[in-house]
Amino acid sequence: MCSVFNKVEICGVNTSKLKVLSEAEKYELLQKIKNGTPAEKKTAREEMINGNLKLVLSVIQRFTNRGENLDDLFQVGCIGLMKAIDNFNPDLMVKFSTYGVPMIIGEIRRYLRDNNSIRVSRSLRDTAYRAMQVKERLTAENNREPSMDQIAKELDIPREDVVLSLESIVEPVSLYEPVFNDGGDTIYVMDQVGDNNDDSNWLDEIALKEAINDLSDREKKILTMRFFQGKTQMEVASEIHISQAQVSRLEKGALDKIKKDL
């Protein structure tokens, strides 16, 4: 593999010559995979895999700063792609990428978790996987997520062991990791974190109260809830009945106005 990601071959594949399928072509191939003869299914599956390798490449780019071998990530991503193809239902009339991207990401994250440089003991990892299985089963049975105490009771182990095991396999998340984008402003993890102790000089409480006089009532309410009450954008959106993306845009716009006034 060449050292420059965007120009080279990964796993012997010339990335500049990869085919890109149209949505109509994908739908036709997925229908053949689902309803065709064995020979048609095999051929269509191979075409679908080859026609979505660029999708895998686009996903693994977000993991390039981890120091992992890109060939390895590409192969793992392809496994996720194949799982997505085998499990996708074309009758749902949604884009394949909507289903495929999370599957590819999930496969890569599992690989990174299991090969983490911070080694987790086999027994701790086994406990975590058993806890996850119990959690899924209880959620399906009761239509709600179980508490840690319930999981611990099912496994007959201390609650602390359940919490420790599950935390040991959680991959750290960057505050700057994007969680939503509707074509406008991107919402990052940090936007969903409550802000009870913001100590930026320009956002000090007294100065803010003076500067927000020229804002609209909605902008004032959003800033009050976000910075005085420490609520997340999701909580604000739910309370004032708009989307989180709208909260993000209004918040950023209001803060820009305040910065200019200050």
Query: At residue 63, does pLDDT exceed 70?
Result: yes
**Would you call 153 exposed, middle or buried from its count of C-beta atoms within 10 A (0-12, 13-18, 19+)?**
middle
- Tell me, what's the pLDDT at 79? 92
CATH level 2 (architecture), domain 5-114:
Up-down Bundle (1.20)
Q: Which of 5-9, 75-79, 140-144, 250-254 has the lowest mean pLDDT?
A: 5-9
Q: Which of 31-35, 119-123, 224-228, 232-236 has the lowest mean pLDDT?
A: 119-123
Label residue 170 by pLDDT band (50, 70, 90): low
- Tell me, what's the pLDDT at 46? 93
- pLDDT tens, residue by residue, 1-53: 433 344 445 555 666 677 888 888 998 999 999 888 999 999 999 999 999 99
CA distance 164 to 259: 43
pTM surpassing 0.85?
Answer: no
Domain map (residue ranges) of the chain: 5-114, 122-168, 178-261
Selected residue with higher pLDDT from 187 and 136: 136
Query: DSSP labels for 167-192?
Result: HHTPPP--TT-EEEESSSSEEEGGGG
- Tell me, what's the pLDDT at 3? 35
Mean pLDDT of the 176-191 span: 55
CATH fold match for the domains 5-114 and 122-168: no
CA-angle at 170, arms to 100 and 76, nearest 5°: 35
Domain 178-261 in CATH 1.10.10.10:
yes
CATH level 2 (architecture), domain 122-168:
Orthogonal Bundle (1.10)
Mean pLDDT of the 235-255 span: 86
